[in-house]
Amino acid sequence: MNSILITGATGFVGSKLIMLLSRKDWDICLAIRKSLPQLTFDTFDVTPVLIKNIDSCTDWQQSLNGIDSVIHLAARVHIWHEDTLDSEAEFLKVNFEGTANLVKQSIQAGVKHFMFISSIGAMATLSDHPLTETSPCQPDTPYGRSKLQAEQALIELASQSSMTWTILRPTLVYGSGNPGNMERLIKLINRGLPLPFGLVNNRRSLLYVGNLVDAIATCLTHPNAKNQTFLVSDGQDLSTPELIGKIAYHLERPCHLLPVPPSLLKLAGHLGDTIEQFTQRPLPLNTSTIDRLLGSLVVDSSHIRNTLNWQPPYTVDEGLSKTLR
């Protein structure tokens, strides 16, 4: 039986991944940040190991004993106002230095394959042209830059060993229980109030969490996934008005889109930033949220489909339906 170490195991993606892999023939070890009741894991055939912090000094020896593959999900994520409230050093400490340390110890422990769940943010947060695996990486946030440096460290370190690797760059991941901008948008739509996005003309690639964990499971066993980087999405790109319409439909809420000029929305985002700085409380609309609602970010995920013969098991409508139940 092959053995896997999953970091970030109790997070949004990790919890879904455990449910999928526990149905397969894997011996699963979970790296968790705090002790949880054993009842939490009784449903699954897994072994939890406590890892309190992830940085350049973390000791992974116990977790890596007898492990064949590592799936590295744990990360310092982009949270509210990451650019102003979180320093670049903190993102690098966890996402870059912590990953490089885990890679080094994985090589020393004889791990055969290392899968790193990166982010499309390692390439960009906005793009008017579809991104592919060969597009230049120009991350514009501390989170994105730390993810890109972690990718580069993995490839460089693994190239000096027999350990193979796979890097996945998901687009915006959505699903039940996912915090972030999607959750904010859903809350706004659920109120049934008119939203000022009728004039937005953009395209966004999304990724349902069920499709992401299926892609991860495919990469674990497919020989063509070795030493490859893949962009992953649902394959159906939506404008913000289209996304709002679909969410409203599944929530059975009215969808009223007001024709507000994008310039006024950007002004509202800056005003939200100012209010947040004074109150130290996040608002539904700020510059970060507005940029993502107005801007485009489309990826071409044909590489993983063609290389691994992989198809997302869920459509956007199916993913949104499961998210909003």
Mean pLDDT, the chain, rounded, equals 90
Sequence-ordered list of residues with C-beta below 8 angstroms from that of 116, at least 6 positions apart, any chain: 72, 99, 150, 151, 154, 165, 166, 167, 168
Residues 203-213 have pLDDT tens digits of: 999 999 999 99
Is 174 known to be catalytic?
Answer: no
Residue 281: pLDDT band by 50, 70, 90 thresholds? confident
What pLDDT shows up at residue 128? Answer: 85
CB 5, CB 69: distance < 8 Å: yes
For each of the domains in the chain, give its residue range(s) and CATH number, in order of start: 2-174+206-235+298-314 (3.40.50.720)
AA letter at 261? P
Residues 41-100 have pLDDT tens digits of: 555 567 777 787 899 999 999 899 999 999 999 999 865 444 444 578 999 999 999 999
- Of 2-6, 47-51, 155-159, 318-322, the poorest mean pLDDT is in 47-51
Q: Which of 204, 196, 108 is nearest to 158 (CA)?
A: 108
Mean pLDDT, residues 227-243? 97
Mean pLDDT, residues 222-242? 97
Residue 131, Cβ density class (10 Å: 0-12 exposed, 13-18 middle, ≥19 buried): buried
What pLDDT shows up at residue 42? Answer: 52
Read off the DSSP letter of residue 96.
I
Question: In this predicted model, which residue has the larger pLDDT, 44 or 251?
Answer: 251
Percentage of the chain with pLDDT > 90? 72
Phi/psi for 213 (5° steps) reads -70, -30
Read off the DSSP letter of residue 34.
S
Q: How far apart are CA 288 and CA 80, in angstroms?
A: 9
Question: In this predicted model, which residue has the larger pLDDT, 289 or 194?
Answer: 194
pTM of the model: 0.92
pLDDT for 291 beyond 90: no
> What are the CA-CA distances from residue 24 to residues 8, 242, 313 (Å)?
20, 36, 17
Neighbours of 181 (CB within 10 A): 18
AA letter at 36? L
Q: What residue has token string 């700020």?
A: 286
> What are the CA-CA distances from residue 202 to residues 237, 262, 294 (Å)?
10, 11, 6
SS3 label, residue 264: helix
Tell me the β-bridge partners of 160.
none
**Of 143, 174, 208, 314, catalytic:** 143
What pLDDT shows up at residue 179? Answer: 76
Q: For CA atoms 83, 86, 92, 94, give the dihedral sign.
A: negative
Residues 92-132 have pLDDT tens digits of: 999 999 999 999 999 999 999 999 999 999 999 999 899 99
What pLDDT shows up at residue 84? Answer: 45
SS3 label, residue 260: coil
- Helix (H) or strand (E) holding 105, with range, is helix 98-109
